[in-house]
Amino acid sequence: MDSSRAWHPVATEPNLDEPTADESTRMRQRSERSVCLAQLRQGARAYITAIAAHGTATIPIGDVAHSTIARRLIELGFVPGEQVEIVRKVWPGGDPLAVRVGSSVFALRRREAQAVMVNAGDAAADPD
């Protein structure tokens, strides 16, 4: 399929939109330490601080690789300031895990969950 050639990347100006004042206060209050989503316990809630822009997050997705894990996570609503909740960890090691963000629940593998940074707050992290 020639869909890969359908898009001509055009240089766009980076729009470094800072989080709103409200969001940054909320983040500062809670960000004692940042951990990745995969380290949270079942039932834990936390706020997203960042989506990693390196490592696993940059892995391109699938056969028509245009997107990356980080991009898709943001598109699905994993944006800084949003609250997440670990709904379910089935297997030891928590792979995959069910995560609520907004009013949706997503199944993520550990690899994807490692790209989502959250502040642990009072929710203690798993030892691993």
Partner 1 sequence: MIRELPEVETCRVALVGPPNCGKTALFNRLTGSRQKVANYAGVTVERKEGVLVSPHGHTLYRVIDLPGAYSLVPTTLDEAITRDVVIGRLRGEAPPDLIVCVLDATNLRLSLRLALELKRVGVPMIVALNMSDLAHRRGFKLDRTALECELGLPVVETVAVRAGGDAALVEKLDQLSSRPSGRSASVHPAGERPADVALESVSHQELAATQREVRRILTAARYVEPLRDRALARLDAIVMHPIVGPVLLAVLLFLIFQAVFSWAEVPKDWITDGFAALGGWLEHAMAPGPLRSLLIGGVLNGAGQVLEFLPQILVLFFFILLLEDSGYLPRAAFLLDRIMGGVGLSGRSFIPLLSSFSCAIPGIMATRTIPNLRDRLATILLAPIMTCSARLPVYTLIIGAFIPNRSLGPWHLFNLPGLVLFALYVLGVVGAVLVAFVMKRATMRSSYHPLLMELPEYHWPNLRNLLTGLWERTQIFMGRVGTIILALMVLVWFLSSFPAPPPGAVGPAIRYSVAGMLGAGLAHLFAPLGFNWQISVALVPGLAAREVVVAALGTVYSLGGAGGASAEAALRPMIAGSWSLATALSLLTWYVFAPQCLSTLVTVRRETNSWRYPAIMAGYLFVLAYLSALLTYHVALSLGGGHLRGV
Integer CA distances (angstroms), 22 to 28, 29, 35, 81, in order: 10, 11, 22, 9
CA 33 to chain centre: 16
Give the CA angle between residues 23, 31, 88 to the nearest 5°.
90
Q: Are 77 and 48 in contact (CB under 8 A)?
A: no
By beta-carbon proximity to partner 1, the closer residue of 91 and 128 is: 91
Candidate list 103, 122, 127, 128; residue touching partner 1; CB under 8 A: 103
Tell me: does residue 117 bind partner 1 (CB under 8 A): no
Using rule CB under 8 A, residue 28 touches partner 1: no
Kindly state the smallest distance separating residue 93's Cβ from partner 1, in Å: 9
Does 69 interact with partner 1 (rule: CB under 8 A)?
yes
- Asked if residue 128 binds partner 1 (CB under 8 A), the reply is no
Long-range contacts of 3-9 (CB under 8 A, 24+ apart): 3/64, 4/64, 4/66, 7/66
First to last CA, the chain: 43
Shortest distance (Å) from residue 127 CB to partner 1: 18
Regarding 60 and contact with partner 1 (CB under 8 A), the answer is yes
Q: Which residues bind partner 1 (CB under 8 A)?
A: 1, 3, 6-12, 14-17, 20, 51, 53, 59-67, 69-77, 79-80, 87-88, 90-91, 95-96, 98, 102-109, 111-112
